[in-house]
Amino acid sequence: MREGAANQEWRSPARRAGAPALADTAQPLLMVAEEEAVLTPLVADLCAFLRVRVEHVAPAALAGALARQPVGVLCHAPVTGRAVSQVLRAVVATDAGLPVLVVTDHEASRAARLAVAHDIVQLEHLVWLDRLPDLRGMIDFLFLAERRAGRGGLMPL
């Protein structure tokens, strides 16, 4: 069955041939600091739908990357350690009000978080999970980042 012109009108510009993908023209920016890409592919489709650019960066390189003014930072590490500490310190040094979501795998121990406690208490918008976030959790975090940035417009038109 041949697709008529009327049926092609509903398609988004990103689906039309030659049009740039939404992720290529998206604003604002969300940074994902992790050694191995775990959160990055998890949030890619949601962020593309909401027209949010996602940039993967190594935790050690986050301090320099924060100059691009992201609306939020996601961090994933298997345990609370050097990578999480680097991310938290970079955010504290740049903008303690920047929303940060940290995910460590099944490590809810108080002792591990004491290593980065000084940085934790300085952050205004820190969400710490011991499991990967679900869709609702990611949407809530993205809207927190949007409100904090005062940029409005994450909802697609």
For residue 68, the domain's CATH number is 3.40.50.2300
Q: Assess if residue 48 is contained within a domain.
A: yes
20: preceding bond cis by omega (within 30 degrees): no
Provide the number of structural domains found in the chain: 1
Contact 155, 147 (CB under 8 A): no
> Phi, psi at residue 132, to the nearest 5°?
-65, 140
Q: Which string of b and e fits 52-68 if b means at least 16 CB within 10 Å? A: bbbebbebeebbebbee
Q: Assess if residue 69 is contained within a domain.
A: yes
Q: Assess if residue 1 is contained within a domain.
A: no
Q: Assess if residue 16 is contained within a domain.
A: no
State residue 81's pLDDT score.
78
Strands (E), 1-152: 29-34, 53-57, 72-77, 100-104, 126-129
State residue 14's pLDDT score.
47
Q: Assess if residue 3 is contained within a domain.
A: no
Domain span holding position 68: 23-142
Low pLDDT (below 50) residues in the chain: 1-16, 22-23, 26, 155-157
Q: Assess if residue 14 is contained within a domain.
A: no
Q: Assess if residue 2 is contained within a domain.
A: no
Q: Assess if residue 152 is contained within a domain.
A: no
